Amino acid sequence: MKVKIAVFNTKPYDQEYFDRYTNKEELQFTYFDSPLNRDTVNLAAGYEVICVFVNDTLDRTTVEQLAEMGIKLIALRCAGYNNVDLDAAREKGIRVVRVPAYSPEAVAEHALALILTLNRKTHKAYNRVREGNFSLNKLMGFNLHGKTVGVIGTGKIGATFCGIMQGMGCRVIAFDLYPSEELKARGVEFKELEAVFRESDIISLHCPLNPETWHMINRDSLSKMKDGIMIINTSRGGLINTQDILKGLADKKIGFLGIDVYEQEENLFFKDMSEMIIEDDLILRLNSYPNVLITSHQAYFTREAMEEITLTTIGNITEYREGRALTNELT
């Protein structure tokens, strides 16, 4: 029997990859541009499965409405699931699957790209040269070699990032609730979180967002860091208290900030707003700082990652269709 799937928050590349790899005799994908939330949930009527991304909002109200419509499976085409009320889904008998890993190298490499761009100011040099300005004034950076890089969260992405930074000649220290013996053997020093804050020249966030990690970068944690600290976030926007970060930038406590995620990104990211008035005062203030670099949740965005996301999502739905155990089910 063919399973009908509603795909929300669809971008052209999502449809391209699903159409490329789907067995259309088994799965029928319908694509919606709209994000899923309590205002658009009616679009899910008539489907058995929904496929959603990081900026879809599946709160209790939305999940309960999905259950009333007969939705049996929520297929996340991402690793994070903080946007889904899992308790509500469990109560309503809706199963939830995700893509637990998709090219950790993609995200780790993007974190390095943010570091190098901020440090060596290649984005500014590019614009200068295009305008005929070949001056080196205010383009000075620093050697990464020998610097101490603090990594918070050493899952697959964090572990890959550790290796990259060791390859750059950095001392790598890390915090994780479950320190990796393999990383220890490779020379990564695991320390308490406050020690990572205190000793690092660069801090890169690679941990999930949950009640314990929400706003872990705040006024108090910033006070423990070196003056001029570089902070990189390619994980989840809610790890950072944006108001406190702005204060840290204004006080010159933060020397560099590179973020691929943002607390309120669901209202901005993945959209072309170049001809619109952006009403988010916080991101406008962040953008006003010359030592801030923002990318719009593109760290994962490589051909290899898109292929892995697509194939895993299709595999998750196929397991459901065939009544098999769900390998990547969230329980």
Q: Which residues are catalytic?
A: 236, 265, 297
Residues whose CB is less than 8 angstroms from the CB of residue 164 and which lie 6 or more positions away in sequence, other chains included = 108, 109, 112
167: helix, coil or strand?
A: helix
The Cα–Cα gap between 77 and 212 comes to 24
Three-class DSSP category at 116: helix
Decide: residue 84, CB within 10 A, 0-12 exposed, 13-18 middle, 19+ buried: buried
Angle of helix 303-321 versus helix 104-120 axis, rounded to 10: 150
**Alpha-helix runs per DSSP H in the chain:** 12-21, 60-68, 86-91, 104-120, 122-130, 156-167, 181-185, 193-199, 219-223, 242-250, 281-287, 303-321
Closest to 138 in 3D by CA, of 125, 151, 148 = 125
Residue identified by tokens 């809706």 is 94
Q: Can you give 10-36 as a three-state secondary structure string?
A: CCHHHHHHHHHHCCCCCEEEEECCCCC
Which residue type sits at 175?
F
Q: How many beta carbons lie within 10 A of that of residue 14, not counting itself?
A: 21
Cα within 13 Å of Cα(331), Cβ side: 5
Q: Which two tokens stand for residue 79?
A: 């690793």
* Distance, CA of 159 to CA of 183 (rounded, Å): 7
